[in-house]
């Protein structure tokens, strides 16, 4: 019978003490707030769980426009104009992108698995990220400043980053 008051007291202490401890940590614990600070343990992994879940619910399955030279060249011009400053080219990584937190991935760099940038992601996932942006990172949402066709042109370009590109596009991305 004495267990019940004890359980109630523990419950109340729990709901008061836990938020209090969190507040004290946020004010006095020096959590990472500067771009140059080190990240929390597992910070990137935890942030990516809801992002990946949302993308996989909403991303289109296939591109509505074909992978023609014309679309790839247009995608490369858009990339040069809007994206290169953070994501770099094959011959020139971006110093600005590396100064962000999280860093902007260099989208023309080859990975150990043979993929280049996001060429190993589904094109619909890349389209979703470009259209909607990635919250609390430097990645802008281009859904209002680029047309649907332009969003797909630059997405197709990035999906082909591990393959030969038409001469103009290849030159623009530094290959
Ligand atoms: C101001 C800097 C900035 C600009 C400009 C920018 N991005 Fe990003 N982008 C980022 C950052 C930072 C990330 C990493 C976000 C993260 O870690 O979740 C990112 C992530 C991405 C990703 C996901 C990469 C991955 O590994 O999953 C893609 C794709 C992408 N950007 C494409 C683009 C395209 C295309 C443009 C131009 C239309 C662009 N970005 C413009 C900063 C930028």
> Residue 86 corresponds to which tokens in the numbers above?
């953070």
**pLDDT given for residue 34 in this prediction:** 93
DSSP state of 119: T
Each residue of 32-51: pLDDT tens digit? 999 999 888 888 889 899 99
pLDDT band for position 1 (50/70/90)? low
Going from N- to C-terminal start, the domains of the chain cover 1-31, 56-172
Dist CA 29 CA 25 (whole Å): 4
Q: What percent of the chain has pLDDT over 90?
A: 81
DSSP state of 35: T
Helices (DSSP H) in the chain: which residue ranges?
Answer: 3-28, 43-58, 69-78, 84-87, 95-98, 123-132, 148-159, 167-172
**pLDDT given for residue 40 in this prediction:** 84
Each residue of 48-102: pLDDT tens digit? 999 999 999 999 999 999 999 999 999 999 999 999 999 999 999 999 999 999 9
Ligand 1 mean position, distance from CA 68 (Å): 24
Residue 9 above 80 pLDDT? yes
Ligand 1 mean position, distance from CA 104 (Å): 6
Mean pLDDT of the chain: 95
Dist CA 173 CA 89 (whole Å): 5
Does the C-beta of 59 come closer than 6 Å to ligand 1?
A: no
49, 51, 85, 105: residue to mutate for ligand 1 pocket, most atoms within 8 A of CB: 105
Q: Which residue in the block uniquely carries the two structure tokens 């140059």?
A: 36
Does the C-beta of 130 come closer than 6 Å to ligand 1?
A: yes
Domain 56-172 has CATH 1.10.760.10: yes
**pLDDT given for residue 39 in this prediction:** 87
Each residue of 160-172: pLDDT tens digit? 999 999 999 999 9
Each residue of 102-146: pLDDT tens digit? 999 999 999 998 899 999 999 999 999 999 999 999 999 999 999
């Amino acid at each position: 019978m004495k267990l019940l008051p004890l359980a109630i007291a523990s419950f109340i202490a729990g709901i008061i003490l836990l938020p209090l401890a969190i507040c004290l940590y946020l004010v006095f614990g020096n959590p990472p707030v500067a771009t140059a600070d080190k990240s929390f343990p597992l910070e990137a992994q935890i942030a990516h769980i809801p992002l990946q879940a949302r993308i996989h619910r909403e991303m289109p399955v296939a591109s509505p426009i074909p992978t023609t030279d014309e679309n790839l060249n247009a995608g490369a011009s858009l990339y040069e104009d809007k994206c290169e400053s953070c994501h770099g080219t094959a011959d020139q990584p971006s110093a600005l992108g590396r100064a962000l937190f999280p860093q902007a991935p260099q989208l023309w760099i080859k990975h150990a698995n043979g993929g280049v940038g996001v060429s190993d992601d589904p094109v619909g996932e890349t389209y979703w990220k470009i259209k909607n942006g990635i919250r609390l990172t430097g990645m802008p949402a281009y859904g209002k400043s680029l047309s649907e066709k332009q969003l797909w042109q630059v997405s197709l370009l990035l999906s082909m980053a591990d393959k030969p590109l038409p001469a103009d596009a290849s030159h623009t991305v530094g290959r």
